[in-house]
A = this chain, B = another copy of it.
Amino acid sequence: MIETIAFDGDDTLWHNETLFSVTQARFADLLAPYGPFPDVPERLVATEGRNLSSFGYGIKGFTLSMIETAIELTDGRIAGRDIQAIIDAGKSMRDHPVELLAGVRDVVEGLVGGPRRLMVITKGDLFDQESKLARSGLADLFDAVEIVSEKDEGTYRRILDRHAIDPAAFLMVGNSLRSDVLPVVGVGARAVHVPYEVTWAHEQVEPVDGRRPGVWELAAIRELPALLDELDAA
């Protein structure tokens, strides 16, 4: 019996990666007059990868990586006003309305008041994530929220310990195999993978081969209640 269900935030409860993609497109447009640069996306991904250990995940680190990439690609010719435009693009990401994925509100509201504890376990910048949760309108529906800087087995073990949750009674729901599925089954709990339309380059892992025990894949979060009924009946 599943006693606690935890949801990932970005690209599970609310859209996130699409906003980064839109900003990346604006970034490429902004650099076009200095170009042509056919490999803006690849160069930006490379800068982000190099900077993960300095900046972690989130909008501010992404903004700094865009600035670095712009300086690199233009050999320092990028104008101050264009750097300011990059910073403004970062700020507008922060201020962008939080858009829930289809079905999210119905599914979460349907679980409230039921027998299971509901959590959010989300990775990223504390400031960004708190702001998104607050603006999602969902914050009051969850019994606990954990914002973490990395989702590995150690992180999940600490969270389960802290909340006195038996791994066998814990189910994680998220869009990332790397962050929401593999480390969760690694600590003996179960996971539901709901792929998002886009996966950030630094979250990509090889797809899981065949069917893995303790992991279910759903096309949309709307299918979660039926799966829970199935698991309860099993």
Give the B-binding residues of A (Cβ under 8 A). 54-58, 60-61, 63-64, 67-68, 70-71, 74-81, 83-84, 87, 90-91, 94-95, 125-127, 130, 147-149
Smallest beta-carbon distance A109→chain B, Å: 23
In the complex, the answer to whether A61 meets B64 with C-beta atoms within 8 Å is no
Smallest beta-carbon distance A65→chain B, Å: 9
Smallest beta-carbon distance A196→chain B, Å: 23
In the complex, the answer to whether B64 meets A87 with C-beta atoms within 8 Å is yes
In the complex, the answer to whether B80 meets A74 with C-beta atoms within 8 Å is yes
Smallest Cβ-Cβ distance to A61: which chain B residue:
B60
* 24 A-B pairs in the complex with CB atoms less than 8 angstroms apart: A54-B95, A55-B60, A55-B127, A58-B60, A58-B127, A60-B64, A64-B64, A64-B90, A67-B83, A68-B84, A68-B87, A70-B80, A71-B81, A71-B83, A75-B80, A76-B79, A76-B81, A76-B84, A77-B80, A78-B83, A125-B127, A126-B126, A126-B147, A130-B149
